[in-house]
Chains A and B, each alone.
Chain A
């Protein structure tokens, strides 16, 4: 049964909610995260710049905040710096200058050893999926739960549930190479959301799929968002922006944040 296609179906099956509750109980830093959520702000960039090597800055003077439970589109022309900004958001890169706070923690001065805890709060859908080629769909989706230290007996149920939910219950043992682009995309999304991240970051998630699949993915992100997950989707597909009316739009222009739509005329700021 393709639960994914049923809009009325509760997003997370019971077994996944149990996992999420377990994560919340076991992680001490969750308390800090919960108190910070009360403010609503989960990410704050302050005058952030990024350059690779000695090249000119690809991102300059970025100052903005992201708030819990909101849906953000990040748009801009090719080479505007969308992927670089997303890499900063999912902690694959440190900025060259400025300050970044994530979930109430200074992400710049945070020791390497504490980065994993922060990263476990972020689900990432890479533009090129980045599934591990020698692992099955099941093992790829189970990976975030395994790195979080869940027992094998607690993993099978949620992983099968979410693979069924994204309509891939018959591809549970399939390697990525045997899946179509859309199927790989859905495995990547299942992997990104299996551990109930506080923030989902997706880089051009509709770039490799047809219009029908793109719409399905968008509905999926909206459902996630309604469950309380902050969603950040990088896209250059302007049609997509119109399909999520409550979304906020961040536009990058040559590495600087702009606001052409008026939806985000003033980037969200830290509440007084």
Chain B
């Protein structure tokens, strides 16, 4: 039934587009957070799943160097080794520099050549073909037992597990927020539709008596709320984009590996663009079902 708005648009609108705009903005931000966390988790998992760190913890420089070389050779002989890298001293210095300052591992803190101030273990970064399971860790330990008795073997995934668990919890929280916001949107539309139905009861009765069907009446409400939702959704998505891009820039400035790997990819942007569309569809469906349900009580 077109040509004239049976229900005045102003009666349906009111604060509704703004409520929807806020809901869509919050949903898009929560979804973006969830997607970014998902990306970070996937990327980090793929990177460290087969990662093993071998530390040669020996205070004497010469023994440590000898054991490190022997350990590298022993590991190379093992099957299913995808790659291996002895972490250079310069990288180790850079790692401890923020906490202990510079020159800690140099040959003598005062240049007297008396050795490192604090002995720093040497590190070997090993990549396995496949995940670093417990039996494979045991096999590496056995291989190193003779060649480098002071070597300690750790799966990288083991010490990062609490971090992953926390990130997964945050991701679940984000998804829960998206679901709750969708439910809140539906509830807001339901209340608005009921209110509009009450305000326009006389008009609806006249339309019924002139031969109008429930579906025709529902379509009027559905169209009206659809306009509100489409307008509000567009504004909400624009707000969310501003927030997401500015947060993205802030995190990018941190330069941390885990944060960098959480950048959104094009499929994520596509999903975010779907939020106002899905919100509009949800609002229209809610309005339709609410009106049809209410009209069943009328003759």
Main secondary structure of the interface of B (DSSP, over half): loop
How many A-B residue contacts, CB cutoff 8 Å?
Answer: 64
- B289: Cβ under 8 A from any A Cβ: no
- B210: Cβ under 8 A from any A Cβ: yes
Are the C-beta atoms of B4 and A117 separated by less than 8 Å?
no
Are the C-beta atoms of B210 and A144 separated by less than 8 Å?
yes
- B6: Cβ under 8 A from any A Cβ: yes
- B62: Cβ under 8 A from any A Cβ: no
Are the C-beta atoms of A119 and B211 separated by less than 8 Å?
yes
Are the C-beta atoms of B206 and A147 separated by less than 8 Å?
no
Q: Cα distance A140–B14 when bound, in Å?
A: 25
- A41: Cβ under 8 A from any B Cβ: no
- Category for how many chain A residues contact B: 20 to 34
Known: A93-B299, A130-B202. A142 touches B211 (CB 8 A): no
- Category for how many chain B residues contact A: 20 to 34
Which A residues touch B8, using CB under 8 A? 134
Closest-by-CB residue of A relative to B11 is A134
Q: Cα distance A82–B202 when bound, in Å?
A: 21
Type the 1/0 row for B211-225, where 1 means its CB is closer than 8 Å to any CB of A: 111101000000000
Are the C-beta atoms of B3 and A119 separated by less than 8 Å?
no
Are the C-beta atoms of B299 and A147 separated by less than 8 Å?
no
Are the C-beta atoms of B206 and A120 separated by less than 8 Å?
no
Closest-by-CB residue of B relative to A194 is B210
How far does the Cβ of B41 sit from chain A's closest Cβ, in whole Å? 52
Are the C-beta atoms of B4 and A135 separated by less than 8 Å?
yes
How far does the Cβ of B246 sit from chain A's closest Cβ, in whole Å? 44
Partner of B211, one of A93, A130, A144: A144
13 CB-based A-B contacts, threshold 8 Å: A90-B209, A112-B214, A112-B296, A116-B208, A119-B209, A120-B210, A130-B206, A132-B6, A143-B207, A146-B2, A146-B4, A147-B211, A147-B213
Q: Spell out B's residues near A (CB within 8 Å).
A: 1-6, 8, 202-203, 205-214, 216, 296, 299
Extra contacts, 18 of them, besides A113-B213, A115-B299, A116-B211 (Cβ < 8 A), are A116-B208, A116-B213, A119-B208, A120-B210, A120-B211, A130-B206, A134-B8, A135-B4, A139-B3, A142-B3, A144-B210, A146-B1, A146-B2, A147-B1, A147-B207, A147-B212, A147-B213, A152-B2
